[in-house]
């Protein structure tokens, strides 16, 4: 078996052997439901789309994704198994990828369990299923980006709590950096290109376009780099840990 898959299998086993996975799934589904129906006013809007469902994902993931990813590397460091893993005949990249795929797969599983909402909206009206599909793609990519950031912060420390807080802060800044209350004060002190540069890091416009059914290569490149760069940083951090 490919070593990446072996690592993935072990990580997934770790999730489902403990109550963490089930607690997470239940809370994730309860919260997406509650946000969609009570705060998002899904029924009152009387519109056949999943906008009130997807709009909460950047915020929900803000806490739930770091909760899934915080143990990825910090636990290895705490237990000392990092030494075991890195002296096995596999490259650090394979470990990083295997662990990432396991957690991302788990998040995608959680996301796909929200299918009743898709079924509901189709039952009540005739929504644009293409836009719903790209919305799900965007949501999964965003979860992947948050997760890659958590993987990076997790490699930084052997303390899961620190890893959690760091990744929440980084992800929150990715959510907020394009928001007018943040960009307006910046515009007062900095030239426009800096403000636009900061705003360009924001996850929101890219996710919004995918929700509307627009597949733009720029959005895909954004999300791929949002996953790729922190994973690369993870490998750099792990290499520096060993010297």
* Nearest distance in Å: CB 72, another protein: 13
Q: Which is nearer to another protein, 132 or 238 (CB)?
A: 238
* Nearest distance in Å: CB 239, another protein: 9
* Nearest distance in Å: CB 50, another protein: 36
Residues that bind another protein in the complex, under the rule CB under 8 A: 1, 3, 6-7, 9-10, 13-14, 17-18, 79-81, 83-84, 86-91, 242-243
Q: Which is nearer to another protein, 18 or 41 (CB)?
A: 18
Can you tell me the distance from the alpha carbon of 241 to that of 138, in angstroms, rounded to the nearest whole number?
33
Measured CA angle at 233 (ends 232, 236), to 5 deg: 95
Q: Which is nearer to another protein, 10 or 45 (CB)?
A: 10
Q: Which is nearer to another protein, 87 or 217 (CB)?
A: 87
* Nearest distance in Å: CB 144, another protein: 24
* Nearest distance in Å: CB 5, another protein: 9
Helical segments of 160-216, H only: 160-176, 180-189, 192-199, 204-211
* Nearest distance in Å: CB 112, another protein: 25
Measured CA angle at 50 (ends 226, 204), to 5 deg: 30
Identify the helix (H) or strand (E) that includes residue 57.
Answer: helix 57-69
Q: Which is nearer to another protein, 30 or 84 (CB)?
A: 84
Q: How many residues does the chain have?
A: 243
Can you tell me the distance from the alpha carbon of 204 to that of 176, in angstroms, rounded to the nearest whole number?
8
Q: CB of 144 within 8 A of CB of 224?
A: no
Q: Which is nearer to another protein, 7 or 111 (CB)?
A: 7
* Nearest distance in Å: CB 227, another protein: 24
Nearest to 140 by CA among 205, 229, 69, 211: 211
For 181, counting Cβ atoms within 10 Å of its Cβ (0-12 exposed, 13-18 middle, 19+ buried), the class is exposed
Nearest to 71 by CA among 132, 138, 159: 159
Q: Which is nearer to another protein, 9 or 45 (CB)?
A: 9
């Amino acid at each position: 078996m490919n070593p990446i898959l072996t690592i993935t299998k072990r990580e997934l086993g770790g999730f489902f052997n403990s109550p963490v996975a089930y607690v997470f799934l239940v809370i994730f589904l309860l919260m997406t439901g509650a946000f969609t129906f009570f705060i998002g006013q899904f029924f009152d809007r009387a519109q056949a789309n999943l906008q009130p469902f997807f709009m909460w994902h950047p915020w929900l993931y803000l806490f739930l994704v770091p909760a899934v990813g915080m143990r990825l590397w910090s636990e290895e460091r705490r237990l000392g198994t990092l030494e075991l893993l890195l002296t096995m005949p596999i490259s650090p990249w394979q470990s990083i990828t295997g662990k990432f795929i396991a957690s991302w797969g788990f998040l995608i599983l959680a996301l796909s369990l929200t299918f009743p909402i898709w079924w509901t909206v189709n039952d009540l009206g005739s929504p644009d299923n293409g836009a719903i599909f790209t919305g799900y793609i965007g949501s999964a990519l965003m979860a992947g980006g948050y997760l890659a950031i958590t993987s990076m912060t997790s490699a930084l420390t052997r303390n899961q709590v620190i890893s959690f807080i760091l990744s929440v802060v980084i992800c929150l800044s990715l959510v907020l950096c394009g928001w007018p209350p943040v960009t307006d004060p910046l515009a007062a002190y900095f030239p426009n290109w800096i403000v636009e540069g900061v705003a360009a890091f924001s996850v929101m416009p890219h996710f919004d376009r995918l929700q509307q059914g627009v597949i733009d290569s720029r959005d895909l490149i954004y999300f791929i780099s949002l996953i790729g760069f922190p994973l690369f940083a993870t490998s750099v951090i792990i290499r520096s840990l060993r010297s």
